[in-house]
Amino acid sequence: MELTIDNKKYELNFGIGFVHELDKIAGMKSNGVSMGMSLMLTLPAFEAFDPMALFNILYAGTHADNPRPSGEAIEGYLDGLTDAKIDKLFKDVGAELKKSAMVRYTSNRLAKQAK
């Protein structure tokens, strides 16, 4: 999936590198030690249309871009969207996340646990 932020194109990647980067920004920490768990925390929040979950996914998804967009650039991009564009972005990102084997596996396991 590609996003244009500040007239620059960025390719979002949701593989294991994405999970590793998401752990850095949205994972659990205990006594300064990373416990991971970012997907377990982020996916339900994303599915509830949490804007910070979307922000974290976009930022982590650009981990392979060099240079990657800054947090401020992503904030500006999100703040400039209309309601319809926000809705489409959630749908598009959700569809792309499901293409990733690691994300899809975790999402499916979370759904089974919720039953």
Q: Which sign, positive or negative, has the C-alpha torsion 78, 51, 10, 84? A: negative
Report the alpha-carbon distance of residue 84 to residue 31 in Å, rounded.
42
What are the tens digits of pLDDT across the range 13-49? Answer: 999 999 999 999 988 877 777 777 889 899 999 999 9
In this prediction, residues 94-106 reach a mean pLDDT of 92
Q: What is the pTM of this model?
A: 0.91
Per-residue confidence at 110, pLDDT binned at 50, 70, 90? confident
What are the tens digits of pLDDT across the range 41-72? Answer: 999 999 999 999 999 999 999 999 999 999 99
> What is the domain extent for residue 9?
2-114
What's the structural domain count of the chain? 1
